[in-house]
Amino acid sequence: MKRFNIKNKNILIAGGSGQIGKSIIDFFLKLNARIINLDIQDIKQQKINSNRNYLFYKIDFSKKEDIDLIFNNFIKKKRIDTLINLFHFKGNFRKLEPNNSFFESFDKYDFSNWNNTINVNLNGLFLICQKTLKIMMGQKKGNIINVSSTYGVVSPKKHIYGKSGINNPIAYSTTKAGIINFTRYLATHYAEYNIRANVISPGGVKNKMQSKEFVKNYKINTPLKRLANPWEYNEAFLYLASDASSYMTGSNLIIDGGWTAW
Ligand SMILES: NC(=O)c1ccc[n+]([C@@H]2O[C@H](COP(=O)([O-])OP(=O)(O)OC[C@H]3O[C@@H](n4cnc5c(N)ncnc54)[C@H](O)[C@@H]3O)[C@@H](O)[C@H]2O)c1
């Protein structure tokens, strides 16, 4: 168990205020890690906000100047053991909005939605990884965990969404696929600095926005017959964030109830 120890490790979490991020932060704080959450909005949970090992900086990953400012003023001088990138563009920064043009089919897809998604999911990722990697190169040790999706591995199943007004658009799927090879590039080109880089590809997490039709269709397409709970990824993040995974780099850990096995 010693190799799973993350006590006092500095873990930078980008986009940690969402469904999966909140769960990881809560779990990692209980294991006495030091968390720096970079997000456009903070988590509103007293037990997290008041934890002395929790720091939050407001940032918009679509803005290079925001990333420069936060790094130059707050992050640059710190040791960063692990970086976890969770942020993604979904048409707005808060809840999913059914019928938002972000969910349109490719033939009607607005170029601005495509650009906004690339700008956050890939350009933002490029910038934060580049900044953090330089810190890690100086430390001669580091660990990057990027987050893709089953839809970065296979195409979204368009029939499961029915009339919900929520779909999985080309911009999401394309950028999520890009994240996987971006990570392999970092893994292979920076292994000599003792920096590891891996991907976690989660399957769908249940939330209140999902229609009955979607949940039913999701079950039919999943060997384990259900969506995930947000906390069911915690242990995989712990494995990758700790020395327990010291021989793992360039991998894509798919945790999807079997979705991509069919
Ligand atoms: N939840 C799922 O069903 C699911 C399934 C597969 C993959 N994933 C992936 O897992 C990751 C986390 O998912 P989640 O459900 O926790 O997402 P979420 O939407 O609940 O949270 C994302 C977080 O990123 C932040 N964010 C978005 N754009 C930002 C920006 N420009 N600048 C700063 N912060 C920004 C949001 O404020 C939010 O706190 C995502 O990359 C997602 O693609 C999620």
Does the reported pTM lie above 0.85?
Answer: yes
Over residues 53-110, the pLDDT tens digits come to 999 999 999 999 999 999 999 998 899 999 999 999 999 767 778 889 999 999 999 9
Q: Which of 93, 166, 167, 215 to mutate to test the pocket of ligand 1 (most atoms within 8 A of CB)?
A: 93
Averaged pLDDT for residues 140-165: 95
pLDDT higher than 70, residue 115: yes
Please tell me if the CB atom of residue 215 comes closer than 6 angstroms to any atom of ligand 1.
no
Helix (H) or strand (E) segment spanning residue 199: strand 195-202
Q: Which of 37, 42, 87 to mutate to test the pocket of ligand 1 (most atoms within 8 A of CB)?
A: 87
Point out the ligand 1 atom lying closest to the alpha carbon of residue 202: 6
Looking at this protein, which amino acid is placed at residue 107? D
Give the distance (Å) from ligand 1 centre to CA of residue 195: 24
Q: Predicted confidence band at 134 (pLDDT cuts at 50, 70, 90)?
A: very high
**What is the pLDDT, as a whole number, of residue 96?**
79
Q: Which of 50-64, 129-143, 158-172, 197-211 has the lowest mean pLDDT?
A: 158-172
Averaged pLDDT for residues 143-164: 95
Task: For 201, list phi and psi in degrees, rounded to 5.
Answer: -115, 100
Q: Which domains does the chain have, with CATH numbers?
A: 2-261 (3.40.50.720)
Please tell me if the CB atom of residue 120 comes closer than 6 angstroms to any atom of ligand 1.
yes
Give the distance (Å) from ligand 1 centre to CA of residue 258: 22
Give the distance (Å) from ligand 1 centre to CA of residue 88: 5
**What is the pLDDT, as a whole number, of residue 13?**
98
Q: Which of 61, 71, 88 to mutate to test the pocket of ligand 1 (most atoms within 8 A of CB)?
A: 88
Please tell me if the CB atom of residue 146 comes closer than 6 angstroms to any atom of ligand 1.
no
- Mean pLDDT of all residues belonging to the chain: 96
pLDDT higher than 90, residue 260: yes
Of 77, 69, 37, the C-alpha closest to 55 is 37
**What is the pLDDT, as a whole number, of residue 93?**
66
Please tell me if the CB atom of residue 89 comes closer than 6 angstroms to any atom of ligand 1.
yes
Q: Which of 87-96, 131-140, 151-160 has the lowest mean pLDDT?
A: 87-96
Please tell me if the CB atom of residue 20 comes closer than 6 angstroms to any atom of ligand 1.
yes
Give the distance (Å) from ligand 1 centre to CA of residue 202: 11
Give the distance (Å) from ligand 1 centre to CA of residue 2: 30
Residue whose Cα lies nearest atom 13 of ligand 1: it is 20
Give the distance (Å) from ligand 1 centre to CA of residue 94: 9
Averaged pLDDT for residues 173-179: 98
pLDDT higher than 90, residue 225: yes
Answer for the pair 111, 119: CB distance below 8 angstroms, yes or no. Answer: no
Question: For 28, which DSSP code?
Answer: H
Give the integer Cα–Cα distance in Å for 152 and 100: 21
Give the integer Cα–Cα distance in Å for 145 and 200: 7
Give the distance (Å) from ligand 1 centre to CA of residue 235: 18
Averaged pLDDT for residues 198-227: 96
Proportion of the chain above pLDDT 90, given as a percent: 92
Rg of the chain taking only CA atoms, in angstroms: 18
Of 126, 150, 260, the C-alpha closest to 205 is 150
β-pair type (82-85, 252-255): unpaired
> What are the CA-CA distances from residue 168 to residues 93, 102, 106, 189 (Å)?
16, 9, 10, 32
Over residues 23-37, the pLDDT tens digits come to 999 999 999 999 999
Give the integer Cα–Cα distance in Å for 221 and 213: 13
